[in-house]
């Protein structure tokens, strides 16, 4: 995966510049911008409150000598900090967000150095401590992006070195030691800033990789579900998909009080066709009929499926007897004209043409028993079409009795029952 390759590259690059490729970098910024702005606003607000609280405590403890420092720092630092903090609520773009914080931190650092001064050893050391605390706030608390953090610390460093170098109370050795400690401290903070951004980027990549894996898994499951509901030979939905769709349409048409029609289609003399031309020819005939059935549907709400063997079923929601008969007759004519595949050997004379018989039934969906009756009635009508000479369409309403009492009808009932048992067993009879 793309995220996985970026993750490996980031792990290999060590202390190189933290940067993704353009599109991934843009996504990283888009995904983290809102959360990052809110966190910087909240952390900054807490820091402002803590700073002013500490200044107040200093005044209450030290009284008058600390009053001037309290006034200077509160009057200069707090308004600037509040202005930048309020800017974070606007969810600004990266260069404004990071740049404004970096600039404010540098200014605050120099204000602290000015307020503390460097006339005494204690004041000079306090100035170094304030500088390191300000740098720690920028690199670790606010977690400035590494290049902004590096620029901030580099701009703060000259001020600290100048303050130590021009402190009249410090010897050269003391100034060098203080400067060395300050440089080491800033270096540690810079390493921490790098590590924080690196971990954030690694977490982003891991999260993105999980999302991609979940997406791929969902796509794979969808494909698998699609394959499990399709008939490989004809490309039509299989029996399982047919049963699920039938239940959906039964409820849908029942709620709308509209009829639902079923057309059961069976290839005529299919066993004989297989015996004469071979199973490959028979498979091609099934594929061609599957394509013709799809072309015969009225729209996306209709469904054509392979029920088993050489038998197909059409589900026609909102279709009464007349509409269902029109669709079934269209299927019969299409198969009669174009359902016979070409054969490789020259035996066109006396060739067996592929035809179908269709049984049609309609009903108003009401109750589970009616759902069984409409399929049984279509099955019954199919056998009536077979008995009448094949290559025809016969309709039988689902409300009619399963048997009229005649010997011929009772024979058809037994054939229907036997064929249904054979289909359930996975060995449909061939007609």
For residue range 198-247, list pLDDT tens digits in order: 889 888 888 888 888 888 888 888 777 777 788 889 989 998 899 999 99
Phi, psi of 308 (to 5 degrees): 160, 140
* 170 shares its domain with 96: yes
Where a domain ends, among 182, 200, 215? 215
User: Does 174 have pLDDT greater than 80?
Assistant: yes
- Asked if residue 231 belongs to a domain, the reply is no
At residue 127, does pLDDT exceed 90? no
Q: Which of 215, 231, 251 is the last residue before a domain boundary?
A: 215
The CA distance from 253 to 315, in Å, is: 12
Across 43-67, average pLDDT: 78
Same domain, yes or no: 88 and 166: yes
Q: Apex CA 345: angle with CA 342 and CA 347, to 5°? A: 85
**Same-domain status, 243 and 210:** no
In 286-347, DSSP assigns E strands to 303-308, 311-317
Do 201 and 57 have their domain in common?
Answer: yes
**Do 182 and 260 belong together in one domain?**
no
Q: How many CB atoms lie within 10 A of CB 70?
A: 19
Number of domains present in the structure of the chain: 2
For 143, list phi and psi in degrees, rounded to 5. 55, 50
Nearest to 203 by CA among 33, 10, 2: 10
State the Cα–Cα distance between residues 79 and 135, nearest whole angstrom: 19
Both 192 and 326 in one domain: the answer is no
Which stretches within 120-171 are classed as H helix? 121-136, 146-165
Q: How many CB atoms lie within 10 A of CB 18?
A: 16
Q: Is residue 226 part of a domain?
A: no
User: How does pLDDT run across 384-401, given as a tens digit for each residue?
Assistant: 999 999 999 999 987 653
Count of H-run helices and E-run strands, the chain: 13, 5
Find the mean pLDDT for residues 89-116: 91
Asked if pLDDT for residue 60 goes beyond 70, the answer is yes
Residues 289 and 195 in one domain: no
pLDDT greater than 90 at residue 319: yes
Tell me the pTM: 0.59
| Residues 110, 114, 120, 122, Cα dihedral to 10° | -50
Query: Is residue 50, in this structure, part of any structural domain at all?
Result: yes
Long-range contact pairs involving 152-161 (C-beta distance under 8 Å, separation at least 24): 152/102, 152/105, 152/106, 153/186, 153/189, 153/190, 155/106, 156/105, 156/106, 156/109, 156/131, 156/186, 157/182, 157/183, 157/186, 159/109, 159/110, 159/113, 159/131, 160/113, 160/127, 160/128, 160/131
Q: Token digits for 305?
A: 């499926």
Residues 150 and 98 in one domain: yes
Q: Which residue has the tokens 């509160």?
A: 74
pLDDT per residue as tens digits for the range 135-151: 999 999 999 999 999 99
Residue 358: its pLDDT value, please? 96
Q: Is residue 232 part of a domain?
A: no
* % the chain with pLDDT above 70: 83
Tell me, yes or no, whether 208 and 245 share the same domain.
Answer: no
339 assigned to some structural domain: yes
What is the structure's pLDDT at 11?
A: 56
Which one has a higher pLDDT value, 416 or 281?
A: 281
| Residue 227 belongs to some domain of the structure | no
77 and 193 in a single domain? The answer is yes
In a domain, 221, yes or no: no
Domain residue limits at 178: 2-215
pLDDT confidence tier of residue 402, bands split at 50, 70 and 90: very low
Q: Identify whether residues 83 and 188 lie together within a single domain.
A: yes
For residue 359, the domain's CATH number is 3.30.70.270
Question: Are 91 and 190 part of one and the same domain?
Answer: yes
* Residue 341 belongs to a domain: yes
Q: Of 172, 199, 215, at which residue does a domain stop?
A: 215
């Amino acid at each position: 995966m793309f995220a996985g390759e970026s993750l490996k590259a980031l792990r290999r690059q060590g202390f190189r510049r933290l940067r993704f490729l353009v599109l991934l970098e843009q996504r990283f910024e888009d995904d983290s911008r809102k959360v990052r702005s809110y966190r910087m606003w909240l952390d900054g607000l807490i820091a402002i409150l803590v700073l002013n609280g500490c200044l107040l405590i200093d005044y209450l403890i030290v009284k008058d000598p600390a009053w001037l420092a309290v006034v200077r720092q509160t009057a200069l630092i707090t308004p600037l900090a509040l202005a930048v903090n309020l800017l974070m609520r606007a969810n600004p773009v990266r260069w404004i967000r990071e740049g404004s914080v970096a600039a404010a931190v540098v200014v605050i650092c120099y204000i602290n150095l000015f307020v503390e001064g460097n006339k005494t050893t204690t004041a000079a050391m306090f100035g170094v401590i304030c500088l390191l605390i300000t740098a720690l706030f920028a690199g670790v608390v606010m977690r400035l992006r590494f290049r902004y953090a590096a620029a901030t610390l580099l701009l703060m460093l000259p001020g600290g070195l100048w303050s130590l170098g021009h402190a009249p109370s410090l010897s050269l050795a003391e100034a060098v030691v203080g400067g060395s400690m300050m440089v080491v401290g800033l270096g540690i903070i810079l390493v921490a800033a790098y590590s924080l951004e690196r971990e954030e980027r690694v977490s982003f990549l891991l999260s993105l990789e999980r999302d991609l894996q979940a997406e791929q898994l969902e796509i794979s499951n969808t494909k698998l579900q699609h394959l499990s509901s399709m008939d490989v030979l004809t490309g039509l939905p299989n029996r399982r998909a047919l049963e699920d769709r039938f239940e959906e349409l039964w409820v849908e048409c029942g709620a709308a009080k509209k009829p639902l029609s079923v057309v059961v289609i069976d290839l005529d003399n299919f066993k004989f066709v297989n015996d004469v031309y071979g199973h490959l020819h028979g498979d091609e005939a099934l594929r061609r009929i599957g394509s013709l059935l799809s072309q015969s549907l009225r729209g996306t709400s209709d469904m054509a499926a392979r029920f088993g063997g050489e038998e197909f079923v059409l589900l026609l929601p909102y279709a009464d007897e007349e509409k269902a008969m029109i669709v079934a007759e269209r299927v019969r004519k299409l198969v009669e004209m174009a359902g016979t595949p070409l054969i490789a050997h020259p035996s066109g004379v006396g060739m067996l043409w592929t035809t179908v018989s269709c049984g049609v039934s309609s009903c108003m969906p009401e109750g589970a028993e009616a759902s069984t009756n409409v399929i049984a009635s279509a099955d019954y009508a199919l056998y009536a079409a077979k008995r009448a000479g094949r290559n025809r369409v016969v309709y039988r309403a689902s409300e009619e009795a399963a048997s009229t009492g005649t010997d011929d009808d009772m024979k058809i009932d037994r054939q229907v029952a036997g064929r249904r048992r054979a289909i359930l067993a996975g060995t449909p009879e061939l007609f």
